[in-house]
Amino acid sequence: MKILILGAKGMLGHGLMEVFSDLEPIGWDIDPPPLVKGGGVDITDKSSTSKKISDLGPDIVINAAAYTNVDASETKKELAMEVNGEAVEYLAEICAKLGTILVHYSTDYVFDGRKREGYTENEIPKNPVNIYGQSKLLGEKKISNCKLQNSNFKFYLIRTSWLFGPYGKNFAGTILNLSKTRDKIKVVNDQWGKPTYTLDLARATRKIIEEKYPSGVYHLTNEGVCSWYEFAKEIVRLVGLKTKVLPCKSEEFPRPAKRPHYSILLNTKLPPMRSWQEALKEYLKIKN
């Protein structure tokens, strides 16, 4: 099985390369990754991307490439839409043509965040509250349109949320660093979601592929719901530091991009993953 992982240098990409390492995956990023087998590819370049993937002839393309800067997306809307939306159409088209399975990751931010009880895989996303969410929703629509045009096209559209992992910048790493240098930290307590460990997400992705689950939409997160404040408090508690974590409202920390209040993804199709607290313990053993 020949597997191509796009975005191999990113936080999730690193996790995927590790989890699939025994299958010798090929890793591509916009710049040639220095530590992984592969090369450089700009997925927004339709012609070049299509040719490179056609020449490689993979059985599976796992797309972990994305423009993930939520705040910067507000001023770089065109770039976000191009990477997270239009480029996904290019990937879907070439995968459909080759008979290749496409795995693509989306986000809890495609929902407006008004539903406290959370969102199932079958609910239709609408009214994302920021540009990033809009761009990821565009990517989802591109995959759906490709499926309508080619009934044999097989894909796994995996929505996830609040990613943290050993590689790259993320909330858990930021709180870990701040807690070592500050006496107190303020963290918002009015945004709720499900933290997800990149290595657990990569393992669940492999399970879907190897067990040949039906094509469609899946929600993959670690189990348990919390606020960013509760997430931060658990990090500080597990590390054993005396830093005070104080709750605050989103209005106290205005940011360019609005965040949904309740972006809880409900998994109704797969066995539940372990709790985010258990995953966090593993992460902290690596990072601390």
Active centre residues (catalytic): 132
Helix (H) or strand (E) holding 286: helix 276-287
Task: Yes or no: say if 206 and 245 are a contact pair by the CB < 8 Å rule.
Answer: no
Tokens, residue 84: 């997270």
* HSE toward the beta carbon, residue 274, CA cutoff 13 A: 11
* 193/183 Cα distance (integer angstroms): 26
HEC string for 221-282: CCECCEEHHHHHHHHHHHHCCCCEEEEECHHHCCCCCCCCCECCECCCCCCCCCEHHHHHHH
DSSP E strands in 82-148: the ranges are: 101-107
6 φ, ψ (degrees, to nearest 5)? -95, 140
Residue 204 Cα distances to 67, 194, 269, angstroms? 23, 16, 12
Tokens, residue 29: 């990023």
Residues near 286 by beta carbon (within 8 Å), at least 6 away in sequence: 166
Q: Of 40, 155, 164, 28, whose CA–CA distance to 88 is shortest?
A: 155
